[in-house]
């Protein structure tokens, strides 16, 4: 096997046997075992799989794994062709349509399958996207840029900064809207980060992802993307928001403010739910309709204020019965500028943590508190514990859920090191992260009943 | 006409799909069960054909996607969870199902696969919420003996069953599917195309079906086994026929398919003789709404009232061809209509070969011919629907007519209950498969295979001998029981019920067979109900003569008990005292006979009493009691 082929997951006995037979991934090979011959295309093997099997795609299309034992014979029958993913020609751009840039950060918002080898390739260029989601050509003039190719759990504060800067540059060029394709796991963190970093937006910035990978016909990627581009091109608001399925049906896509949205289900299409808020808008039958009158208006004349810096010296400590308060000491020792406590209920942490908290505050660390209930508002005046924590100098974070509060603290310490200024920023409503009123319908599973349509 | 199938080169391959009665579905914890009630959950989806470099997008599915077809899924909480809704990744492969397939595979002398890889087979008609069917090969390369002939078995696969279509709405723009069936494990057994006659196809299917039943994991009842047939003739085409639900239909389906292809070949010869060229068949559609302005044809009237127009196309030199019968109830015109229905979503077509009819007058036909420039030697096909549908329909008609010039088009057809087949969809290209990355490969270890080997069911011939020996059945009855769907149930019923083995065996074979012939839905009665029925017979609660009445009642009243059946049918057994009183009354009423014949009156009286008790008393008890009463008189 060539060096290139070695990267295809084979190791140990299987790799030795394939090397000996001069077989490469994609070749037509024949394996003879116990008098039975299996002929097919050599398929790459998962990195984490064992070293004893060779995977072959039979003529019927099925993959099978054949265990390599000393009596097995491998023979190379023919050379395989490499899958060539030719891009279709770019359709004619309609000059009257708005311009939308799609920035991709990783994952596959669109992909194509090579059924010969079973390989799945991302479709990221504009022409690939048009090929896979041809509807886009009737909505906007789409440009694309690959900013990162990372799973969303691998994105950090530096990536948020870079992404904010790329968005700002495209807006400065005069695009009518920006779409950010993002893995869903940390999409809400990035949405909050961009909400703080991109202020006074003239046009919308819409984050979009998929809960079913785009290589499958039932993927939600295309529907979400179409709606995101539609909103970026035409919606009357100019905020950072997430566009994803409203229900388990493919009928409506809901758009929610970047500081008020959270991933709430591991696998459902309608995993993103507004927290202590209602959605901004809904896209249904290619129409964007606003669901609230309280939003920042689209206005190309507005001047974007870019504040892209984030601090990584901020920590989240989730309180649980039995938490070791030494964790708090450890963060303080490490030079953390802020610690967000994820407290219980209205905003509580056990008494046995008080001295560690007191020490942190005295050492100049900003200690804030959000509730692990996710929904609802922190109120530390109701019980003694809350009042004691306030007395220690712990800052409540209103109706921000922990992830948004954490990202806000990271952003604050990217702007200032001054404790007084940091406290002022924490209390200021910068990107719609606070709502003074919480309405009864703003809880839990809104719009996501199983009757999807 | 007797056809020499070997001579004409018939080749048939079988794909047998059998639902497995495992505790849970293949990729989740839901029970493998269906529901009849209104759905509790509905959701609407679209499936988008995935782009592929090599495998072209499936033409039929892509067409439906372009037409904006949506799928409305129906579910309830008892039979589906987020997995079937494609809202949660699949759970690991159900090993109970894997073992069932391994059992069948080993019985068919197959070689298990070392490491099983689950694949995604792209299917975008909506029958799978994911847009693909999950499937994997468990074993390959085996054989079975059918009579003297060895039939090679290519593969035994394990796959998830699909959702079932429950209807269409909005003129075919919304297709309804019910996802209860989705995920039920299916074993698929594929033979090589080495079957050369209709009768042989049925024998092979029967042999495979018996092996599957012997695994004890086969579900029973209509719809639980589906045979797909690949039928080909050298001068015809390879036809994929889907969904033959009854074993007894297989030979008929093959016979009809051969007949259909032979007639299509003779139509081709006739058309060639008439000198029709492909480019003479043009997609020139003429609006003939004017012709039918005053029509008395109800179907057309209704369409016109809804604002639809009528579009027609001329098929030059096709006169008389459309009424040629291919197989019963299927004329060449039917083939055109089926295509029009599929591609144009229309209710049907009209054509001049069947005119005048349906309230369409000869004058209207003449005007139609005039409007389309058609002579007596031409055929005209017309459709009453909205313009888009009508165009799509006529386009499909012209394409099918063009194919007739070439002979038999390769198609996927669906089998009807009468053994005929109808157009289902174009043949899909090569299987479009890619790996199901959500499910790790499963190693079939030597330990697992040994375990399955150690528990292989008894081969049929051995079982026949054992049943004869252990239960005293004659050979015919023993064979019948082994061949029947109730081969496994028989022994447990005999063990539990205290009813004679031959009685049970005769009931489970001959009685049920004749009930089925009478149209009784015998599959609706569960194994447990049959067990209870015989327990009641054994305990003297129900007379064995009444067993079939109880069975019939149970088939019509699903979910009820034998006791309820007996009560509803008035079959409660008479107590000894009641019986004695009845006998005394009969003796009193027939005093003349008794006085005349004495003890010899027994035969006559036995008949009278049995007629009166009709299944409410055991004849042996009547016998003893009557003798006693006569003697003590």
Q: Is B111 on the interface with A (CB under 8 A)?
A: yes
Same domain, B284 and B384: yes
Same domain, A269 and A330: no
pLDDT over 70 at A453, yes or no: no
A83 assigned to some structural domain: no
Is A63 in contact with B132 (Cβ distance < 8 A)? no
- Nearest Cα neighbor of B552 from B534, B565, B571 is B565
Instruction: Out of A67, A115, A269, name the one closest to residue B55 (CB).
Output: A115
State the average pLDDT over residues B250-265.
96
Same domain, B594 and B560: no
Q: CA of B72: which chain A residue's CA is closest?
A: A249
Report in angstroms the alpha-carbon separations of A306 from A167, A171, A199, A201, A369: 10, 11, 6, 9, 27
CATH of residue A39's domain is: 2.30.30.520
B271 assigned to some structural domain: no
Same domain, B87 and B187: yes
Is B115 in contact with A64 (Cβ distance < 8 A)? yes
A95-109, A219-233, A324-338: segment of lowest average pLDDT = A95-109
State the average pLDDT over residues A324-351.
97
Domain boundary among B366, B382, B399: B399
CATH of residue B624's domain is: 1.10.10
Same domain, A292 and A335: no
CATH of residue A144's domain is: 3.40.50.1170
Domain that holds residue B626: 576-631
Domain boundary among B399, B417, B444: B399
> Hey, what are A396's tokens?
């409540």
Same domain, B581 and B563: no
- B103 min Cα distance to partner chain A (Å): 19
A177 assigned to some structural domain: yes
- A19 min Cα distance to partner chain B (Å): 21
State the average pLDDT over residues A219-247.
96
Q: Residue A253: what pLDDT? A: 97
Instruction: Out of B48, B111, B119, name the one closest to residue A63 (CB).
Output: B119
Count of structural domains, chain A: 3
> Hey, what are A48's tokens?
């984490």
pLDDT in tens, A7-56: 578 989 999 999 999 998 889 999 999 888 999 999 888 878 889 999 99
Nearest-angstrom CA–CA distance, A310 and A189: 12
> Hey, what are A142's tokens?
């789409």
Same domain, A298 and A411: no
Looking at per-residue pLDDT, the higher value among A9 and A335 belongs to A335
State the average pLDDT over residues B297-311.
91
Looking at per-residue pLDDT, the higher value among A314 and A116 belongs to A314
- Nearest Cα neighbor of A220 from A107, A142, A331, A88 is A107
Same domain, A254 and A110: yes
Longest dimension (CA), chain B: 99
A206 assigned to some structural domain: yes
A302 assigned to some structural domain: yes
pLDDT over 90 at A257, yes or no: yes
List strand residue ranges (DSSP E) for B76-204, in order: 111-112, 115-116, 119-122, 132-146, 149-160, 164-169, 174-178, 185-191
Q: Residue B605: what pLDDT? A: 85
Q: Residue B222: what pLDDT? A: 78
Nearest-angstrom CA–CA distance, B504 and B544: 10
- B436 min Cα distance to partner chain A (Å): 9
Which pLDDT band holds residue A86 (cuts at 50, 70, 90)?
A: low
Same domain, B364 and B312: yes
Same domain, B563 and B593: no
Nearest-angstrom CA–CA distance, A12 and A47: 12
Instruction: Out of B51, B117, B124, name the one closest to residue A64 (CB).
Output: B117
B421 assigned to some structural domain: no
Q: What share of chain B is helix, strand, coil (3-state, %, to 5)?
A: 45, 20, 35
A296-305, A341-350, B451-460, B570-579: segment of lowest average pLDDT = B570-579
A378 assigned to some structural domain: yes
B446 assigned to some structural domain: no
Q: Is B43 on the interface with A (CB under 8 A)?
A: yes
User: 145-164 in B: which are within 8 Å (CB) of A?
Assistant: 155, 157
User: 118-147 in A: which are within 8 Å (CB) of B?
Assistant: 118-120, 123, 131-132
A282 assigned to some structural domain: yes
pLDDT in tens, B193-240: 999 999 999 999 999 998 998 888 898 877 899 999 999 999 999 999
Nearest-angstrom CA–CA distance, B376 and B353: 10
Q: Is B59 left (phi over 0), alpha (psi -120 to 50) or beta?
A: alpha
State the average pLDDT over residues B430-446.
86
Q: CA end-to-end span of chain B, whole Å?
A: 71
Q: Residue A100: what pLDDT? A: 96
Is A248 in contact with B87 (Cβ distance < 8 A)? yes
pLDDT over 90 at B93, yes or no: yes
pLDDT over 80 at A372, yes or no: yes
CATH of residue A346's domain is: 3.40.50.40
Report in angstroms the alpha-carbon separations of A430 from A67, A379, A408, B364: 60, 21, 9, 76
Same domain, A105 and A145: yes
Same domain, A133 and A253: yes
B552 assigned to some structural domain: yes
Is B119 in contact with A269 (Cβ distance < 8 A)? no
A85 assigned to some structural domain: no
Count of structural domains, chain B: 4
Is A55 in contact with B115 (Cβ distance < 8 A)? yes
Which residues of A participate in catalysis according to the annotation?
Answer: 108, 184-185, 263
Domain boundary among A306, A341, A372: A306
**Cβ atoms A189, A400 nearer than 8 A:** no
Same domain, A377 and A301: no
- A250 min Cα distance to partner chain B (Å): 5
- B53 to chain A: which residues are within 8 Å by CB? 83-86, 112, 114-116
Same domain, B563 and B581: no
Q: How many inter-chain contacts (A to B, CB under 8 Å) are there?
A: 156
User: 98-117 in A: which are within 8 Å (CB) of B?
Assistant: 111-116
pLDDT in tens, B354-388: 988 888 999 999 999 999 999 999 999 999 999 99
Same domain, A135 and A60: no
Same domain, A220 and A141: yes
State the average pLDDT over residues A321-337.
97
User: 82-101 in B: which are within 8 Å (CB) of A?
Assistant: 82, 85-89
Same domain, B32 and B151: yes
- A447 to chain B: which residues are within 8 Å by CB? none
Same domain, A276 and A183: yes
Give me the interface pTM, i.e. the ipTM. 0.91
What is the enclosing helix (H) or strand (E) of B60?
A: helix B59-66
Same domain, A285 and A172: yes
B549 assigned to some structural domain: yes
pLDDT over 80 at A437, yes or no: yes
Contacts of A306 (CB under 8 A, 6+ apart): A164, A165, A168, A197, A198, A199
B436 assigned to some structural domain: no
- B109 to chain A: which residues are within 8 Å by CB? none
Same domain, B180 and B289: no
User: 432-461 in B: which are within 8 Å (CB) of A?
Assistant: 432-435, 440-441, 443
B220-229, B269-278, B304-313: segment of lowest average pLDDT = B220-229
Candidates B87, B152, B153, B156: best to mutate against A (most CBs of A within 10 A) is B87
B428 assigned to some structural domain: no
- A65 to chain B: which residues are within 8 Å by CB? 113-117, 441, 443
Same domain, A321 and A246: no
Same domain, B297 and B205: no
Q: What is the CA radius of gyration of chain B?
A: 30
Mapped onto helix, strand or coil, the DSSP state of residue A163 is helix
Is A61 in contact with B121 (Cβ distance < 8 A)? yes
A449 assigned to some structural domain: no
B140 assigned to some structural domain: yes
Domain boundary among B200, B230, B246: B246
Q: Residue A239: what pLDDT? A: 98
pLDDT over 80 at A440, yes or no: yes
Domain that holds residue A54: 3-78
Same domain, B223 and B175: yes
Same domain, B101 and B155: yes
């Amino acid at each position: 096997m060539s060096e290139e082929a070695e990267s295809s997951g084979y190791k140990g006995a299987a790799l030795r046997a394939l090397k000996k037979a001069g077989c490469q991934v994609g070749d037509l090979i024949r394996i003879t075992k116990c008098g039975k011959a299996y002929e097919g295309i050599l398929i790459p093997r998962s990195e984490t799989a064992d070293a004893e099997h060779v995977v072959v795609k039979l003529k019927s299309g099925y993959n099978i794994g054949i265990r390599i034992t000393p009596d097995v014979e491998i023979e190379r029958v023919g050379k395989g062709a490499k899958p060539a993913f030719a891009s279709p020609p770019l359709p004619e751009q309609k000059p009257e349509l708005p311009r939308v840039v799609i920035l991709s950060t990783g994952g596959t918002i669109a992909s194509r399958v090579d059924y010969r080898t079973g390989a799945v390739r991302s479709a990221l260029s504009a022409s690939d996207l048009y090929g896979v989601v041809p509807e886009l050509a009737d909505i906007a003039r789409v440009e694309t840029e690959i900013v990162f190719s990372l799973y969303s759990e691998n994105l950090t504060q530096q990536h948020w900064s870079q992404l904010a800067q790329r968005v700002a540059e495209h807006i400065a060029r005069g695009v009518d809207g920006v779409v950010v394709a993002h893995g869903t796991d940390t999409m809400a963190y990035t949405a909050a980060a961009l909400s703080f970093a991109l202020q006074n937006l003239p046009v919308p910035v819409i984050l979009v992802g998929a809960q079913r990978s785009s290589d499958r016909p039932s993927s939600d990627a295309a529907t979400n993307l179409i709606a995101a581009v539609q909103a970026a091109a035409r919606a009357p608001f100019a905020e950072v928001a997430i566009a994803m399925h409203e229900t388990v049906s493919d009928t409506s896509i809901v758009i929610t403010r970047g500081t008020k949205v959270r991933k709430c289900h591991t696998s459902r299409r309608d995993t993103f739910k507004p927290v202590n808020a209602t959605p901004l808008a809904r896209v249904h039958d290619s129409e964007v309709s606003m669901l609230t009158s309280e939003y920042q208006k689209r206005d190309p004349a507005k001047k974007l204020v870019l504040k892209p810096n984030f601090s990584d010296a901020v920590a989240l400590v989730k309180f649980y019965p039995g938490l070791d308060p030494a964790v708090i000491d450890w963060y303080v020792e490490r030079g953390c500028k802020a610690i967000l406590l994820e407290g219980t209920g209205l905003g509580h942490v056990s008494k046995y943590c008080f001295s560690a908290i007191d020490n942190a505050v005295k050492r100049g660390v900003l200690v804030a508190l959000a509730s692990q209930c996710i929904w609802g508002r922190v109120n530390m005046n109701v019980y003694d514990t809350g009042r004691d924590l306030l007395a220690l100098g712990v800052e409540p974070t209103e109706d921000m859920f922990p992830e948004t509060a954490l990202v806000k603290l990271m952003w604050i310490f990217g702007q200032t090191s001054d404790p007084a200024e940091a406290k002022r920023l924490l209390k200021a409503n910068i990107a719609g992260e606070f709502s003074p009123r919480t309405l009864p319908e703003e809880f839990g599973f809104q719009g996501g009943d199983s009757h999807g349509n | 006409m007797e056809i020499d199938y070997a001579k004409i080169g018939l080749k048939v391959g079988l794909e047998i799909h059998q639902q497995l009665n495992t505790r849970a579905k293949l990729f989740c914890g839901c029970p493998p069960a269906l529901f009849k009630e209104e759905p509790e959950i509905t959701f609407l989806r679209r499936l988008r054909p995935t782009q592929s470099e090599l495998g072209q997008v499936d033409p039929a599915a892509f067409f439906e996607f372009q037409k904006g077809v949506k799928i409305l899924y129906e579910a309830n909480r008892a039979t589906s969870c987020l997995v079937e809704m494609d809202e949660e990744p699949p759970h690991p492969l159900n090993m109970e199902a894997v073992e069932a397939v391994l059992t069948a595979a080993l019985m068919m002398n197959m070689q298990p696969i070392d490491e099983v890889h689950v694949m995604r087979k792209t299917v975008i008609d909506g029958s799978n919420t994911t847009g693909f069917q999950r499937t994997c090969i468990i074993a390959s390369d085996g054989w079975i003996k059918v009579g003297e002939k060895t039939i090679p078995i290519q593969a035994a696969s394990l796959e998830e069953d699909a959702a079932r279509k429950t209807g269409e709405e909005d003129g075919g723009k919304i297709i309804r599917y019910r996802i209860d069936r989705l995920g039920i494990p299916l074993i698929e057994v594929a033979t090589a195309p080495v079957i050369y006659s209709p009768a042989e196809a049925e024998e092979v299917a029967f042999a495979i079906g018996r092996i599957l039943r012997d695994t004890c994991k086969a579900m029973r009842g209509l719809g639980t086994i589906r045979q797909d047939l690949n039928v080909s003739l050298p001068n015809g085409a390879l036809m994929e026929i889907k969904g033959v639900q009854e074993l007894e239909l297989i030979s008929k389906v093959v016979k009809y398919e051969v007949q259909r292809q032979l007639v299509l070949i003779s139509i081709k010869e006739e058309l060639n003789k008439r000198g029709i060229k492909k480019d003479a068949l043009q997609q020139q559609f003429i609006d003939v709404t004017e012709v039918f302005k005053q029509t008395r044809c109800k179907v057309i009237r209704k369409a016109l009232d809804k604002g639809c127009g009528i579009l027609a196309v001329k098929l030059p030199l096709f006169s008389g061809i459309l009424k040629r019968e291919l197989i019963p109830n299927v004329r060449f015109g039917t083939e055109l209509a089926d295509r029009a229905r599929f591609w144009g979503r229309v209710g049907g077509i009209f054509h001049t070969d069947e005119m005048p009819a349906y309230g369409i007058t000869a004058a209207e036909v003449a005007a139609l011919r005039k409007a389309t420039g058609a002579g007596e030697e031409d055929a005209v096909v017309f459709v009453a629907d909205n313009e888009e549908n009508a165009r799509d329909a006529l386009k499909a008609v012209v394409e099918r007519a063009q194919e007739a010039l070439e002979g038999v088009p390769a198609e996927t057809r669906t089998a009807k209950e009468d053994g005929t087949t109808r157009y289902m969809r174009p043949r899909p290209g090569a299987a479009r498969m890619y790996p199901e990355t959500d499910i790790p490969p499963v190693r079939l270890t030597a330990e697992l295979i040994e375990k399955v080997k150690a528990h292989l069911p008894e081969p049929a011939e051995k079982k026949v001998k054992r049943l004869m020996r252990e239960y005293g059945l004659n050979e015919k009855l023993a064979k019948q029981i082994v061949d029947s769907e109730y081969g496994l149930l028989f022994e447990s019923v005999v063990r539990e019920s205290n009813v004679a083995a031959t009685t049970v065996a005769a009931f489970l074979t001959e009685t049920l067979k004749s009930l089925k012939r009478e149209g009784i839905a015998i599959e609706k009665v569960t194994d447990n109900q049959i067990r209870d029925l015989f327990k009641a017979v054994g305990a003297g609660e129900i007379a064995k003569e009444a067993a079939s009445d109880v069975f019939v009642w149970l088939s019509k009243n699903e979910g009820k008990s034998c006791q309820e059946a007996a009560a509803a049918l008035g079959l409660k057994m008479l107590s000894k005292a009641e019986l004695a009183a009845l006998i005394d009354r009969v003796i009193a009423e027939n005093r003349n006979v008794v006085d005349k014949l004495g003890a010899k009156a027994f035969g006559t009286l036995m008949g009278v009493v049995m007629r009166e008790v009709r299944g409410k008393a055991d004849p042996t008890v009547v016998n003893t009691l009557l003798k006693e009463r006569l003697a003590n008189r």
